[in-house]
């Protein structure tokens, strides 16, 4: 019996995983990590009120979630100062990225991103048959002019930009993003991934006209709100663009428990402030640990710090693996020249104690590798 | 500023919602339902152990779920007697249906289903440009021979079959499904949706060779396990087919909380037995209520009972709306001749008391409408 034929596009795709999860590394190692600092999760956890909301929602877990996410969208709309029909909630930014690529990228269409930017976005572009055009980072930041030029030259349907950026932690000021939007080529969408926006300085948040159909912004409860384990993201922009998601999204995909948790997280601004404060402290501590070991940390507007290991990608990889050997999970940027760095999430004090203990020996091991 | 152009396929799609949620009806009515019997949710709830697992997982909600769902797949594999790499877990059967259509249905490919069967499957087929070929029900069951003939005649890539069936509640014995599989045309996949399998008699569950790459079976925690609000489904079949999901799925889409809850549900077989017992009682009670009102209920192998209102679709619609007016939420099959019926989920005794109270007046109102 033969396997039925996949579509030509599906046949062309590798069975790839954009990221190997820390659980897979732990299974390979045969023991758990002591400090989980690789996935930019919020080690400070969701707020106690969110935990209460999840417990309360557990009793209602037999009911499907509202497919229109009415309460959550109303809360988000009030938070953002937009109308509820200018936003859509979904299964994390990852899920929403897949939808937007599916809506706008036909096989052969060009899509511009930075070389070393978010792999899951690239995965979706490839998955719908799009062709990626990659632009190098410049001075460890995404190069806005080069992204625009590449979009213009290639007739791209879409530009992906994360601000603040992952994996470098860098950011552009609002004025630069606004100037970029003014120069967007005809029929080109700017996908502005703001997953880390809660950690950014106020001047990193551009003003975008809410009726501008050329810009879709995405945010998440997985980072600052500590809900990566429930996967709630949202996209907002012009009504006609947001409405298009209804053509293809998994309408009941965002469950009742996740919606309730996200709404509770949105309401607990005191917790968010506290997380921000602890993240700022953790960033300073990571910089100090790096510095004490002769390494330079890059400025960060996120909940992680990217640390320059000072040599090439192979060396940074060796440092990362030596940290893993010492039960500290971190990640590193994929592409040169960013891959001279390792990326360390803002941990709790006890997580960073572990890092501080492990790093000197890890560097020594990497140097002799 | 113009909206960037969607793909030609996306432009062709309506902004449709496969189902209007009960919450939308409640908002329109301005008051909640007293009995929620329309979505075949498990009114008996998730087990207390599952609620404990959700509460415990809330503290870990800051961590992404294992993208490989290793523990859950190991548990399911032991339950099903297969290997872990013969199954994939995902964001409900709805999400998995979308993936399988995307993998196998290219624009213009034919897909066979029953007229009146699961609208969300049809939504996915249309969403990827497939062409639906619909076969009428026969004696309120899916017509296996006609499905096969239509697949053969149209050169279909896929047949969708739900056994037990939604919305009619009917089922085919294992031998009939096995005979159908033996007759599948070349290069045609059978998508066997077993969302209601836990409520079915043992002889409704076919034996399918686990290395047969022409059959994908799908099951869910949304029905018998009472976890619709967390959306966990799984598909199982031959390794080479299951592996293909990794090419396109949202790898981190199934969150840590959902995975923990599903694993706890799988372990609590006593709760499942109790739910089955209560569902069987509820089915008998719904039949008795129907009978007391001069209506005929159809045999059911699910957690709902489809009740023949004895006239046409307009009349059944009037009965449904009259029940809604009396705060009882039910649904009805979409297509003739099934649309002479309403579909009532297995409720708790208090839900069915409400139904028993409302039905006589609802029928009277529908008759005079």
ipTM summary value: 0.97
Per-residue pLDDT of chain A (369 residues), as tens digits, is: 788 899 999 999 998 777 789 999 999 999 999 999 999 999 999 999 999 999 999 999 999 999 999 999 999 999 999 999 999 999 999 999 999 999 999 999 999 999 999 999 999 999 999 999 999 999 999 999 999 999 999 999 999 999 999 999 999 999 999 999 999 999 999 999 999 999 999 999 999 999 999 999 999 999 999 999 999 999 999 999 999 999 999 999 999 999 999 999 999 999 999 999 999 999 999 999 999 999 999 999 999 999 999 999 999 999 999 999 999 999 999 899 999 999 999 999 999 999 999 999 999 999 998
Q: Is residue A282 part of a domain?
A: yes
- Is the distance from CB of B61 to CB of A227 less than 8 angstroms? yes
Inter-chain CB proximity B104 and A44 less than 8 Å: no
Q: What is the CATH number of the domain that holds B315?
A: 3.90.1150.10
| B188 and B329 share one domain | no
> Cα A57 from chain centroid?
27
pLDDT at B282 over 80: yes
Q: Is residue A82 part of a domain?
A: yes
pLDDT at B16 over 80: no
| A131 and A73 share one domain | yes
| B134 and B262 share one domain | yes
Among residues A234, A252, A267, the one where a domain terminates is A267
Among all residues of chain B, which has the CA nearest to that of A95?
B250
Which residues of B are less than 8 Å from A48 in CB distance?
A: none
Q: Is residue B325 part of a domain?
A: yes
The structure's pTM equals 0.97
Inter-chain CB proximity B67 and A17 less than 8 Å: yes
Nearest alpha-carbon partner for A66 in A242, A240, A258: A258
Which residues of A are less than 8 Å from B45 in CB distance?
A: 59, 61-62
In three-state secondary structure terms, B72 is helix
Among residues A245, A267, A289, the one where a domain terminates is A267
| A242 and A335 share one domain | no
Match 């440009």 to its residue by tokens: B129
Among residues B236, B267, B298, the one where a domain terminates is B267
Q: Is residue A249 part of a domain?
A: yes
Q: Is residue B86 part of a domain?
A: yes
| B154 and B80 share one domain | yes
| A213 and A141 share one domain | yes
Question: For residues A25 and A31, what is the distance between their CA atoms, to the nearest angstrom?
Answer: 9
Question: For residues A168 and B297, what is the distance between their CA atoms, to the nearest angstrom?
Answer: 63
pLDDT at B289 over 80: yes
| B305 and B194 share one domain | no
* Residue A101 domain boundaries: 48-267
Inter-chain CB proximity B59 and A45 less than 8 Å: yes
| A79 and A111 share one domain | yes
| B61 and B152 share one domain | yes
> Is residue B217 within a helix (H) or strand (E), and if so which, with residue range?
strand B215-220
Domain count across chain B: 2
Q: Is residue B7 part of a domain?
A: no
Inter-chain CB proximity A15 and B243 less than 8 Å: yes
Inter-chain CB proximity A57 and B92 less than 8 Å: no
Q: Is residue A197 part of a domain?
A: yes
Q: What is the CATH number of the domain that holds A64?
A: 3.40.640.10
Q: A232: Cβ–Cβ under 8 A, 6 or more apart, which residues? A: A72, A89, A90, A91, A92, A220, A221, A222, A254, A258, A259, A261, A262
Which residues of B are less than 8 Å from A261 in CB distance?
A: 58, 61
What is the pLDDT at residue A2?
87
Q: How many residues does chain B have?
A: 369
Which residues of B are less than 8 Å from A210 in CB distance?
A: none
CA distance A121 to chain B (A): 11
Among all residues of chain B, which has the CA nearest to that of A65?
B229
Neighbouring CB atoms inside 10 A of A138's CB total: 12
Inter-chain CB proximity A61 and B46 less than 8 Å: yes
| B274 and B305 share one domain | yes
| A310 and A163 share one domain | no
| A285 and A157 share one domain | no
């Amino acid at each position: 019996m033969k396997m039925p034929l996949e579509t030509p596009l599906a046949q062309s795709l590798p069975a790839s995983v954009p990221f190997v999860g820390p659980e897979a590394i732990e299974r390979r190692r045969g023991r758990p990590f002591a400090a989980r600092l690789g996935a930019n999760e919020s080690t400070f956890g969701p707020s106690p009120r969110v935990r209460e909301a999840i417990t309360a929602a557990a009793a209602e877990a037999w009911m499907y979630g509202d497919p229109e996410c009415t309460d959550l969208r109303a809360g988000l709309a009030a938070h953002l100062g937009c109308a509820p029909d200018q936003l859509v909630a979904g299964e994390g930014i990852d899920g929403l990225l897949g939808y937007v690529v599916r809506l706008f990228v036909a096989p052969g269409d060009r899509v511009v991103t930075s070389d070393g930017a978010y792999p899951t976005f690239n995965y979706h572009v490839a998955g719908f048959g799009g062709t990626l055009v990659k632009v190098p980072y410049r001075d460890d930041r995404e190069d806005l002019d080069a992204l625009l030029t590449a979009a213009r030259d290639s007739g791209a349907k879409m530009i992906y930009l994360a601000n603040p950026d992952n994996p470098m932690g860098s950011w552009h000021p609002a004025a630069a993003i606004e100037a970029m939007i003014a120069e967007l080529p005809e029929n080109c969408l700017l996908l502005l991934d703001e997953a880390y926006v809660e950690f950014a300085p106020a001047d990193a948040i551009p003003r975008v006209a809410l009726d501008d159909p050329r810009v879709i912004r995405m945010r998440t409860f997985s980072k600052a709100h500590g809900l990566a384990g429930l996967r709630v993201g949202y996209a907002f922009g012009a009504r006609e663009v947001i409405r298009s998601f209804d053509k293809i999204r998994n309408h009941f995909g965002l469950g009742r428990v996740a919606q309730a948790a996200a709404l509770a997280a949105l309401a607990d601004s005191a917790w968010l402030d506290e997380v921000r404060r602890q993240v700022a402290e953790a960033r300073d501590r990571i910089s100090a640990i790096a510095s004490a070991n002769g390494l330079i940390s890059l400025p960060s507007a996120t909940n992680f710090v990217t640390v320059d290991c000072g040599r090439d990608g192979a060396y940074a990889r060796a440092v990362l693996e030596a940290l893993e050997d010492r039960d500290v999970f971190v990640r590193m940027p994929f592409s040169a020249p960013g891959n001279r760095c390792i990326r360390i999430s803002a941990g709790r004090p006890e997580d960073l104690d572990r890092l501080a203990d492990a790093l000197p020996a890890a560097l020594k091991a990497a140097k002799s590798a």
